[in-house]
Amino acid sequence: MPKRRGAAADFKAERERLNANVMKNAGQVTKRLYSLDSQAYRDGAIPAKTKELLGLVASLVLRCDDCIKYHVIRCHEAGVTGKELDEALSVGAIVGGTITIPHLRRAWDLWGELEGGKE
């Protein structure tokens, strides 16, 4: 039986497939929205790493699992530490309230996978 790729790899592959479908059908407004989204997370006065943490906090407060997954993965790729992630998720939990707890669980589960099961 082949080894499962993992939630992060599955999510990235599905997101890429779905984005390709969107872009195949997208008009100017959607294409510009995607471009603005990409530009917003680039290094600027605020480093890209911090912007990913901001995106993660907003996603947690809004309780968007796809967005949380995306930003957890991007945070990992940007070199965010577990302690930085904890502080950012703590802010999101305080702002969003206890209703964010299930999303926190899934965020930490994905982070654990990305960290290779490290405690």
Tell me the per-residue pLDDT of 6-16, one tens digit each, with 9 for 90 and over.
Answer: 999 999 999 99
User: Does residue 86 belong to any structural domain of this protein?
Assistant: yes
Amino acid at the residue 7: A
H-helix or E-strand containing 49? Answer: helix 48-62
Quick: pLDDT tens for 69-112: 999 999 999 999 999 999 999 999 999 999 999 999 999 999 99
Is the pLDDT at 1 greater than 60? The verdict is no
Q: Where on the phi/psi map is residue 81: left (φ > 0), alpha (ψ -120 to 50), or beta?
A: beta
Residue 119 forms part of a structural domain: no
Does 64 map to a domain? yes
Work out the pLDDT band at 119, boundaries 50, 70, 90: very low
- Of 23, 93, 87, the closest CA to residue 59 belongs to 93
| Domain carrying residue 50 | 7-114
Q: In a 3-state reduction of DSSP, which class is residue 89? A: helix
The CATH number assigned to the domain holding 106 equals 1.20.1290.10
